[in-house]
Chains A and B, each alone.
Chain A
């Protein structure tokens, strides 16, 4: 636990001492707020965050891979991974520490977008509990993307490849849960198969929880999803110790 925390803290510090955290954060917040305020404030007259949560998954698709691509690839390229792996910490602690740092960073970005609902609440009647539920869901959703991106980063020392692979796989996952695709697939595939395949996609759960419906099964899903990729990540690192 302590080791995980130390790894996480160093990782977070390295986000904020370099321009990455600021440039990345400003860019993501700018794009997100621009599009979502347009949808919520200009087009719609209702006080709701639908536009915001509609745009978020799509943005995360591009931004999370850019954030996670360096997590292992850079350490491997610089050789710092070798030193890191000779510290008295387990691979699991390293993986969790890095994962936690990225999640904390994204949580911070989400907190910074709270200005939007606060503004809405000031001018109209905003139903807060579902909004906060949606925020929590967004964080879970973003975490699942981090787990996928980190996994790809552990497989290569080339950051661009890590980013592209993460984007493609997240895009595929996104499409698997896209309601339109599900509807289309239902026409020519057995319903149970469609159900199984689409239930892999984090997007399927995001759609429902973004409306403020947070089920414990969703929580279990995200835990399993992240757990799967983080475990795979640890196995990759372990295999490299074996192979050299």
Chain B
């Protein structure tokens, strides 16, 4: 549905995109992650035809975003960052304008608007001026505007930024609903958002893609989570025995002591065999009590931090 091939964009001397390539299949919900200034918005602006790329190509539904910009724009619904709307207009007038300008035929217009209003839960506010709405409702108007013409592709730039937690949950639910009918690209800082609503994740940093895959495949790349144990026994000998069992250099940290029990955190090196069983047996064999054993879950957040912080020193020289 979307093909991006070595896309580059420079703003004056600043290179915002340094050759980004990816494809999105029909029906995918793609999460675009990255720190501020990574190139997420720039990519989206090029796909929607607002900006022209400096180099490289991109196409939506087989139409080139530069040469056949109007064709592409007909197939896209776009919610820019910060949700720009005409505040002085009424919600229904605004949606009618959006339907008209996108060429929704007159006969289908009323139904199309009704559908967008229904999907976005706007029926209570259709007669209100946009400027009077809360931020959450404005965001919904922005989404309704993007879907009123039933586009093949939805491009949402930080659809939940600036909303309160309840509104975030609502908008996220809405995006999930929309994801079942449209191909969606959304950008975000919130990793939970990607974990909840996206089928695929692309992490960009400094104009380049640093990771591309499903959540599972990205998590697999990260180190295994640490093991957390609570053991009742003499600290010195527990640590000594642990170090003997584990591969040399494996960090074992006592995170808390209460009475005679110790909370231990064992960083398991990536790619090593699972050792939770062996540690449990060791504790029992020595006659200590094993009060708890848990595995810290690796999160997308770890992957994100690792990938986007790793190249930071390079930026300092650039």
Contact = CB atoms under 8 A, between A and B. Distances in A.
A82 interface: yes
Which one of B9, B11, B50, B90 has the greatest number of beta carbons of chain A within 10 Å? B50
B45 interface: yes
A144 B9 CA distance: 37
A13 interface: yes
Given A3-B103, A78-B87, 16 more contacts: A6-B97, A7-B101, A10-B86, A10-B101, A14-B88, A82-B80, A86-B76, A87-B73, A87-B98, A88-B70, A88-B103, A242-B51, A243-B11, A243-B12, A244-B11, A244-B42
A86 B78 contact: yes
Contacts of A244: 9, 11, 16, 42, 45, 51
A242 B129 CA distance: 34
Interface string B42-69: 1001001111100000000000000000
Given A83-B80, A244-B9, A6 B48 contact: no
B45 A14 contact: no
Contacts, number: 75
Interface string B73-100: 1101010111011111110010001101
Interface residues of A, number: 26
A13 to B, nearest CB: 7
Contacts of B42: 244
A132 interface: no
Contacts of A88: 70, 73-74, 101-103
A125 interface: no
B89 A90 contact: no
Contact of B52 (A9, A90, A242): A242
Interface in A47-96: 78-83, 85-90
Contacts of B98: 87
23 contacts: A6-B100, A6-B101, A10-B86, A10-B89, A13-B89, A13-B93, A14-B86, A17-B89, A18-B88, A80-B84, A80-B85, A82-B84, A83-B84, A85-B49, A86-B48, A86-B80, A88-B70, A88-B102, A88-B103, A90-B70, A242-B52, A243-B12, A244-B42
A17 B73 contact: no
Interface of A: 2-3, 6-7, 9-10, 13-14, 17-18, 78-83, 85-90, 241-244
Given A13-B89, A13-B93, A83 B101 contact: no
A interface secondary structure, majority: helix
A213 to B, nearest CB: 41
A18 B131 CA distance: 12
A78 B84 contact: yes
Nearest to A87: B101
Nearest to B81: A79
Nearest to A18: B88
Interface string B10-53: 01100010000000000000000000000000100100111110
Contact of B51 (A10, A13, A17, A241): A241
B49 A86 contact: yes
Nearest first, the 7 closest Cβ-Cβ pairs linking A and B are A79-B84, A88-B73, A86-B48, A80-B84, A88-B74, A6-B100, A10-B97
A81 B93 CA distance: 18
Contacts of B9: 244
Which one of A80, A86, A89 has the greatest number of beta carbons of chain B within 10 Å? A86
A89 B45 contact: no
Contact of A82 (B12, B50, B90, B101): B50
Contacts of B16: 244
Nearest to A74: B86
A241 B52 contact: yes
Nearest to A238: B52
B79 to A, nearest CB: 8
A92 to B, nearest CB: 12
A21 to B, nearest CB: 11
Contact of A89 (B76, B82, B86, B101): B101
Contact of A80 (B48, B76, B86, B100): B86
A12 to B, nearest CB: 11
Contacts of B51: 241-242, 244
B101 A3 contact: yes
Contacts of B70: 88-90
Contacts of B100: 6
Contact of B88 (A9, A17, A87): A17
A6 B82 CA distance: 24
A151 B86 CA distance: 21
Contacts of B87: 78
A87 B87 CA distance: 18
A25 to B, nearest CB: 17
A135 B101 CA distance: 33
Nearest to B103: A88
A89 to B, nearest CB: 6
Contact of A79 (B48, B80, B145): B80
Interface in B90-136: 90, 93, 97-98, 100-103, 129
